[in-house]
Amino acid sequence: MNRYFWILGAFAGLVALLAVGLNLNPQDVPSPLVGKPAPAFSLNVLATPEKTLGPKDMQGKVWLLNVWASWCVSCRAEHPVLVKFSKDNQVPVIGLSYKEVRGDGEFDMSKLNAEQERKLAFQRASQWLAQHGNPYTDTLMDLDGRVGIDYGVYGVPETYVIDKAGIIRMKQTGPIDPDVLSKKILPLLAELNK
Amino acid sequence: MIARALLFALVLLCVPFAHAGEAAPLADDPVAEKRLQALSTELRCLVCQNQTIADSNAELAQDLRREIRGMIQAGQSDQQIIDFMVTRYGDFVLYRPPVKGITLLLWGGPLALLFLGIFALARYLRQRSKRIAGEQPLSAEETQRAETLLKEIEQK
């Protein structure tokens, strides 16, 4: 009797362990950047290419940094949520257009020079936003993905919540759905904006 | 006019530098190429998580190889390059994560399981030998009874 109890107990433990393991999302790697200052950068603004913008300009505000690209399928799923969010809230959402041209895979980058890539990226990003709605206070152009690397971006879309002091408070890997928005992001924003 | 000439000279000067920013293939530098190889087999590609940056053909892996090349050319040490990756992607990017609080179970788990197994085996063996030792041989009466029973079977 005692022995069966042990075997059954061990089996139940194993099942519990596997159940937890199977329900974890392996893509959801905890970011070491949470709790750290948002890496500095300065990138050209989509609407006003002669201007640049970076985290320094956002000091004193709680804001979202949303990494996206027109070739990113999940971004399309996420987009309506962001558009609605930007209408309902006063929180600035900065878009980071991540490797708009070279990330697509449709272009032979050896045939495009830097200027052509730049032009194409601006054109494609503007067109996409005109078509699907623009939730962004500003969109910044990360053509080669270097800023993305500094932020540890490995799958678009990704979203960062950054506080008034410029500290990253949360990272969402993958699309924001209404559930994540209402349960995690909105309460956090309310707390940070207190 | 002079200003323009100066500007032109400046632009000309900048061209090689602008080019150096782009990672040129290091094939002509076998030592650096070897370092790149060694480093990128230590780093996990976060897009296809069971591949190293060396094996993976994902865009991000290509970007990171380019980044490592740039850092090697800039004369950074292996440790600096590894730290660069860890500050951005966390310990998960390392195929051999460091031993610390959160990874203790990962490193110690198999060892703990092994000790648990040895302990259970030792306990079982001890109990078994005790049980065997505790068994009394048959008494004379019982032996006789067993023999008569066996005989009965033979006769049938």
- Residue B4 to chain A, least CA–CA distance (Å): 23
Q: Which of A29, A103, A105 sits opposite B90 (nearest CB)?
A: A29
For range B132-140, the mean pLDDT: 80
Which residue type is seen at B83? D
Residues of A in contact with B49 (CB under 8 A): 26-27
> In the prediction, which pLDDT does B55 show?
85
**Dist. CA B109–CA B62, nearest whole Å:** 34
Query: What pLDDT tens digit does each residue of chain A (194 aa) get?
Result: 677 888 999 999 999 999 998 888 777 777 889 999 999 999 999 999 899 999 999 999 999 999 999 999 999 999 999 999 999 988 999 999 999 998 888 888 888 898 999 999 999 999 999 999 999 999 999 999 999 999 999 888 999 999 999 999 999 998 999 999 999 999 999 999 88
Which residue type is seen at A89? N
CA-based nearest residue to B27, from B37, B15, B19:
B37
> In the prediction, which pLDDT does B3 show?
59
Q: Which of A72-86, B84-98, B104-118, B129-143 has the lowest mean pLDDT?
A: B129-143
Backbone dihedral angles phi then psi of residue B138, each to the nearest 5 degrees: -65, 145
User: Could you give all domains of chain B from N- to C-terminal order, each with its CATH number?
Assistant: 2-98 (1.10.8.640), 102-155 (no CATH)
Contact B46 A105 (CB under 8 A): no
Contact A32 B86 (CB under 8 A): yes
Q: With 0-12 CB in 10 A as exposed, 13-18 as middle and 19+ as buried, what is B74?
A: exposed
> In the prediction, which pLDDT does A76 show?
92
Mutate to test the interface with A, among B89, B124, B131 (most CBs of A within 10 A): B89
Peptide bond into A178 cis (omega under 30): no
Using a CB–CB cutoff of 8 Å, tell me whether A152 touches chain B.
yes
> In the prediction, which pLDDT does B17 show?
44
Give chain B's mean pLDDT. Answer: 81
Task: Give yes or no for residue B21 having a pLDDT over 50.
Answer: no
Whole-prediction pTM value?
Answer: 0.74
Q: Are A53 and A140 in contact (CB under 8 A)?
A: yes
Task: Give yes or no for residue B18 having a pLDDT over 70.
Answer: no
Using a CB–CB cutoff of 8 Å, tell me whether A21 touches chain B.
no
Q: What is the CA radius of gyration of chain B?
A: 36
- Residue B1 to chain A, least CA–CA distance (Å): 26
- Scan residues 91-150 of A and list those with Cβ closer than 8 Å to B: 99, 103, 105, 145, 149-150
Q: Are A67 and A96 in contact (CB under 8 A)?
A: yes
Coil, helix or strand at residue B135: coil
Q: Which own/partner pairs from B74-81 qualify as long-range (CB within 8 Å, at least 24 positions apart)?
A: B78/B35, B78/B38, B78/B39, B81/B39
Instruction: Kindly indicate the confidence band of residue B5, based on its pLDDT and cuts at 50, 70 and 90.
Output: low
pLDDT tens digits for B50-100?
888 888 888 889 899 999 999 999 999 999 999 999 999 988 889 888 888
What's the distance, CA A4 to chain centroid? 50
Mutate to test the interface with B, among A34, A107, A149 (most CBs of B within 10 A): A149
Q: Which of A30, A150, A155 sits opposite B90 (nearest CB)?
A: A30
User: Could you give all domains of chain A from N- to C-terminal order, each with its CATH number?
Assistant: 32-192 (3.40.30.10)
CB neighbour list of residue B155: distance below 8 Å, 6 or more residues apart = none
Which residue type is seen at A183? K
> In the prediction, which pLDDT does B27 show?
58
Instruction: Kindly indicate the confidence band of residue B139, based on its pLDDT and cuts at 50, 70 and 90.
Output: confident
Q: Does this complex have an ipTM over 0.85?
A: no
In three-state form (DSSP H/G/I as H, E/B as E, the rest C), the secondary structure along chain A is CHHHHHHHHHHHHHHHHHHHHHHCCCCCCCCCCCCCECCCCCEEECCCCCCEECHHHHCCCCEEEEEECCCCHHHHHHHHHHHHHHHHCCCCEEEEEECCCCCCCCCCHHHCCHHHHHHHHHHHHHHHHHHHCCCCCEEEEECCCHHHHHCCCCCCCEEEEECCCCEEEEEEECCCCHHHHHHHHHHHHHHHCC
> In the prediction, which pLDDT does B138 show?
79
Residues of A in contact with B63 (CB under 8 A): 145, 149
Angle, vertex CA A141, rays to CA B51 and CA A83, nearest 5:
95
Coil, helix or strand at residue B118: helix
Task: Give yes or no for residue B16 having a pLDDT over 70.
Answer: no
